[in-house]
Amino acid sequence: SAVISQKPSRDICQRGTSLTIQCQVDSQVTMMFWYRQQPGQSLTLIATANQGSEATYESGFVIDKFPISRPNLTFSTLTVSNMSPEDSSIYLCSVEEDGPGQPQHFGDGTRLSIL
Amino acid sequence: QKEVEQDPGPLSVPEGAIVSLNCTYSNSAFQYFMWYRQYSRKGPELLMYTYSSGNKEDGRFTAQVDKSSKYISLFIRDSQPSDSATYLCAMISNTNAGKSTFGDGTTLTVKP
């Protein structure tokens, strides 16, 4: 299966700052997804990123807070802007390795703590 | 009401036990049914998936889907301490742009 690498694996940030998380896949994929997983909870989809178009955000998530780039078929970034302690979470990217509507595969996530 | 409800944990069993993990769902449009395993400090790992009712076996793991009852299960035979993890059920709808809907997860501990 595809190898999905996220950077950084973890970070501790000051409130009010921004952090960009990178997701690199070792094969070309159409869709990439960004999720948030708060401690002890399940995964919440933030947005879907398709190469060459604007990301599609889920209810409760906005582009100003979570801007996403998708410059090519193997890479995407998620920025968490103007961070507050409530943004402390694990951020995960995933891909549909076998095509649209197929089960997703995940990276190991970025563990973010905001002081 | 959530579209996917997963039996809450945590679950603690002795090594060698048979483990049953369960989810129910309400959306008849779900067509793919997955189980993910998530170790501490790791991302979810796709363990098994199926799209039809019935059983699918892979080694010590069996995924069971009952579409008429909207119920899925994951059985682990001869459980090992290395099976200790959080297990997430997930489902994909054919009417929601292929997005996955996840259960809340069940944390399993297998004691040696």
SS3 B81: helix
The pLDDT, as a whole number, for residue A1 is 77
pLDDT at A39 over 90: no
| Mean pLDDT value of segment A47-72 | 93
| A49 — pLDDT class (breaks 50, 70, 90) | very high
| Mean pLDDT value of segment A24-31 | 92
CB contact residues (below 8 A), chain A span 39-78, against chain B: 41-43, 45, 48
Q: What gap in Å lies between CA A61 and CA A58, rounded to an integer? A: 6
Which of A101, A103, A109 lies at the smallest CB-CB distance from B34?
A: A103
Provide the CATH topology of domain A19-96: Immunoglobulin-like (2.60.40)
Name every chain B residue with its beta carbon within 8 A of the beta carbon of A36: none
Going B105 to A90 to B112 to B76, the CA torsion angle's sign is positive
> A99 in contact with B at a CB cutoff of 8 Å?
no
The pLDDT, as a whole number, for residue A99 is 77
Which residue in A43, A61, A108 has the most chain B C-beta atoms within 10 A of its own C-beta, making it the best mutation to test that interface? A43
**Does A106 sit within 8 Å of B105, measured CB to CB?**
no
pLDDT at B55 over 90: yes
| Mean pLDDT value of segment B17-41 | 95
Q: What gap in Å lies between CA B92 and CA A18, rounded to an integer? A: 32
The pLDDT, as a whole number, for residue A101 is 80
Q: What gap in Å lies between CA B50 and CA A23, rounded to an integer? A: 27
Provide the CATH topology of domain B4-111: Immunoglobulin-like (2.60.40)
| Mean pLDDT value of segment B70-81 | 97
pLDDT at A51 over 90: no
The pLDDT, as a whole number, for residue B16 is 98
Q: What gap in Å lies between CA B102 and CA A92, rounded to an integer? A: 14
**Lookup: tokens for A109:** 């996530």
Which of A1, A101, A106 lies at the smallest CB-CB distance from B44?
A: A106
Q: What is the DSSP secondary structure assignment for residue A103, as one 8-state letter? A: P
CB atoms closer than 10 angstroms to residue B42: 14
Domain boundaries of chain B, sorted by first residue:
4-111
Name every chain A residue with its beta carbon within 8 A of the beta carbon of B89: none
| A8 — pLDDT class (breaks 50, 70, 90) | very high
**Lookup: tokens for B86:** 């959080």
Q: How many CB pairs under 8 A join A and B?
A: 50
> B45 in contact with A at a CB cutoff of 8 Å?
yes
| A97 — pLDDT class (breaks 50, 70, 90) | confident
